[in-house]
Amino acid sequence: MVKNLSVNLCGVQLDNPVIPASGTFGFGEEMAKVYDLDVLGSISIKGTTRDARFGNPTPRIAECSSGMINAVGLQNPGIDAVIAHELPQLRKVFHKPIIANISGFSIEEYQECCAKIDGQEQVEIIEVNVSCPNVHNGGMAFGTQPESAAAVTRAVKEVTTKPVFIKLSPNVTDIVSIARACEEAGADGVTLINTMLGMRIDIARRRPVIANKMGGFSGRAIFPVAVRMVYQVAQACHIPIIGCGGVASAEDVVEMMMAGASAVQVGAENLRNPFACKEIIEQLPDVMERLGIERLSDIIGAVK
Amino acid sequence: MKRVILEIESNRALTPLVYEMRLTGDTSEITRAGSFVEISLDGLFLRRPISVCDFDEGRLTLVYKVVGKGTEQMAALKAGTRLDVLTGLGNGFDSAQCSQHALLVGGGVGVPPLYRLTRDLVAQGKRVSVVLGFNTQQEIFYAEEFERAGANVIIATADGSTGIKGFVTDAIRESDIDFDYFYSCGPLPMLKALCEATDRPGEVSLEERMGCGFGICMGCSIQTASGAKRVCKEGPVFKKEDVIW
């Protein structure tokens, strides 16, 4: 029997739950030469800010056991260039709903960018990255306190019409309180988790491997943390969750969905295997068959 | 970019730390000297980028230096081992830029990509002078290969144990080579000294720690005179005037 892989995120129907995570797929241009992007459920595009950003000095990357650290620093051409160049280019090679990932360093910047991207027909979901430092509050990341996460959510909801997913940072004491604050502030969903703050040291040179000293740890190693946080939030909230963090196989997709995710993002795995998302989608029907799953959406939150 | 399975035909030490690995399989995507491949290795998360030393239909030669866990593991691999490799990465050198006489300058492990470039330039009927810089005699590799490929080879060693004592820039000055275009790969200070020492045009191959190697992660971005560029995608070869030192 043909397996049903489709899932629904706040009324946005995806043919399957597999989405390349923001920052691990660019704006699709390079990957469109690697495989037909229309096999994907959606694409979360490279994190976009109001102004063009070069990001951090290099080295920006460090290898870790079963993972990696990156400190790219939100390199992107800025919201206007994304709308003028990247989205039209992506439209030529990808014909499905797009998730626009937006970052900001102030509430006003989030609002301005989200309002602009909300007007783009191709964009069906807005994903708000609250892991950036708030320049008006001593650089504390918006996503590390329930109040500031809620403030961003409310501000963005005021100026948008499309579903807003808040992408949460795992670098917090209580992920549930932050997810709840976002839900109460009007978030339509949450994406979790962003990268975990990490660091590597070059012991021969006695200095950090990464120029920025610290960076975001991602890859297979963080998968159990992501599953745990998705599960905790799913138990406490009623809005859909996009699970993200260390997903590398069709089995991981099923596990993340059983924990409570309605869709799943694949991040660092794309960097080591450019075909990762495509292969996971191809393997899903066999894994479903083995596990006796006919409709993938039936297993969302199966673990109580 | 193409993902292929290549089989190791041989893997031998050229010096205590530099190895030559010959592989067979589908090399159709490798088209230019100065491009690179990325090898997936057991237990390591990210692939390892290695510059292409030489290639022909169905054959690939990599010359690499053991500098960390990845290359350490590569050095221990035996003939017959099959590797998952991404091929055809990076832009490579533009051999058409040289009209008559090319100067190729390699420092240490920056030497390998210049080998294929030498073959290409010689095949185009151009004169090729190669200056190879090493720390000491024991570290020299591929000097004879370059000569057999048709290049005029000049060696510089920092300790003077072979050839001209000093850096590649000293060797170039002493040898008084009348080139119209240069190509170089090696440590950043060497590339900078070379670009400052000559008023002729040329291009250099840069190195940067990479995430993906095919342009999606922005891990290896650098600022250039013509904007932000990815070393893995728009590079690794950049025109002299584009590099901000």
**Are domains B2-89 and B95-203 of this chain identical in fold?**
no
CB pairs under 8 A between A and B: 89
- Nearest CB partner across the interface for A30, out of B46, B214, B220: B214
Query: Taking the domain B95-203, which CATH number applies?
Result: 3.40.50.80
Interface probe, candidates B218, B220, B229, B232, chain A, greatest A C-beta count within 10 A? B218
Smallest CA–CA separation between B45 and chain A, in Å?
5
Instruction: Say yes or no to pLDDT of A2 above 80.
Output: yes
Please report, as a single letter, which amino acid is at residue A81: A
Nearest CB partner across the interface for B228, out of A54, A66, A268? A54
Are residues A195 and A167 in contact, defined by beta-carbon separation less than 8 angstroms? Answer: no
A173-to-A144, A146, A191, B94 alpha-carbon distances in Å = 8, 11, 17, 54
Mean predicted lDDT score pLDDT of chain A: 96
CATH number of B2-89: 2.40.30.10
**DSSP-based three-state secondary structure for A133:** strand
Q: Which CATH class is domain A7-299?
A: alpha beta
Domain boundaries, chain A: 7-299
Helix axes of A276-291 and A250-259: crossing angle, nearest 10 degrees: 70
A55 vs B218: CB contact, 8 Å cut-off?
yes
> pLDDT at residue A139 above 80?
no
Single out the residue of B144, B242, B226 nearest to residue B191, CA to CA. Answer: B242
Pick the residue from chain B with its C-alpha nearest to A215: B219
A230 touches A265 (CB < 8 A): no
Q: Which residues of chain A approach chain B closer than 8 Å at the C-beta?
A: 23-26, 30-31, 33-34, 46, 54-55, 58-68, 70, 72, 75, 219-220, 268, 270-275
What crossing angle do the helices spanning A223-236 and A175-184 adopt, rounded to 10°?
A: 50
Position B67 scores a pLDDT of: 94
What is the per-residue pLDDT across A175-187, written as a single tens digit (0 to 9) for each?
A: 999 999 999 999 9
Q: What is the pLDDT of residue A134?
A: 72
Spatial distance between the Cα atoms of A6 and A16, rounded to a whole number of angstroms: 5
Residue A58: predicted pLDDT: 96
Mutate to test the interface with B, among A44, A58, A101 (most CBs of B within 10 A): A58
Model pLDDT for residues A10-39, shown as the tens digit of each residue: 999 999 999 999 999 999 999 999 999 999
**What pLDDT was estimated at residue A136?**
77
H or E element, residue B23: strand B18-24
Q: Residue A137 pLDDT more than 80? A: no
Measured between alpha carbons, how far is residue A191 from residues A214, A244, B229 in Å? 23, 7, 30
Interface test with B, best of A272, A273, A278, A279 (most B CBs within 10 A): A272
B211/A219 touch (CB, cutoff 8 Å), yes or no: no
**B44 contact A CB<8A:** yes
Chain A's closest residue to B216, CA to CA, is A26
3-state class of B183 per DSSP? strand
- B216 contacts A72? CB cut-off 8 A: no
- CA angle, corner A60, sides to A59 and A63, nearest 5? 95
- Sorting pLDDT into bands at 50, 70 and 90, what band is A132? confident
CA distance B47 to chain A (A): 6
Contact B45 A34 (CB under 8 A): no
| pLDDT for res A146 | 97
Residue ranges per domain, chain B? 2-89, 95-203, 206-245
CA distance A219 to A222: 6
- Compute the average pLDDT of residues A276-299: 98
Percent of chain A clearing pLDDT 90 (strictly above): 96
Q: What is the mean pLDDT of each run of 10 residues along chain B (245 residues)?
A: 97 98 98 98 97 98 96 98 98 97 97 98 98 97 98 97 95 93 97 96 97 97 97 98 96
Q: How far is B107 from chain A (nearest CA, A)?
A: 21
Facing residue for A63 by CB, picked from B3, B46, B228: B46
Residue of chain B minimizing CA distance to A202:
B68
3-state DSSP assignment of residue B132 = strand
Here the ipTM equals: 0.94
Output the pTM of the full model: 0.96
User: What residue type is assigned to position B145 of the chain?
Assistant: E
pLDDT tens-digit readout, A208-245: 999 999 999 999 999 999 999 999 999 999 999 999 99
Partner residue facing B211 (CB), from A33, A46, A271: A271
CA distance A124 to A11: 10
Determine the distance in angstroms separating the CA of A203 from the nearest CA of chain B, rounded to an integer: 12
- Domain range B206-245, CATH architecture: Ribbon (2.10)
Distance from CA of B94 to the nearest CA of A (A): 22
Average pLDDT of span A53-75:
96
To probe the interface with B, which of A22, A27, A30 has the most B CB atoms within 10 Å?
A30
**B204-237 per-residue burial string, b: 16 or more CB within 10 A, e: under 16:** bbbbbbbbbbbbbbbbbbbebeeebbbbbbbbbb
Average pLDDT over residues A247-272: 98
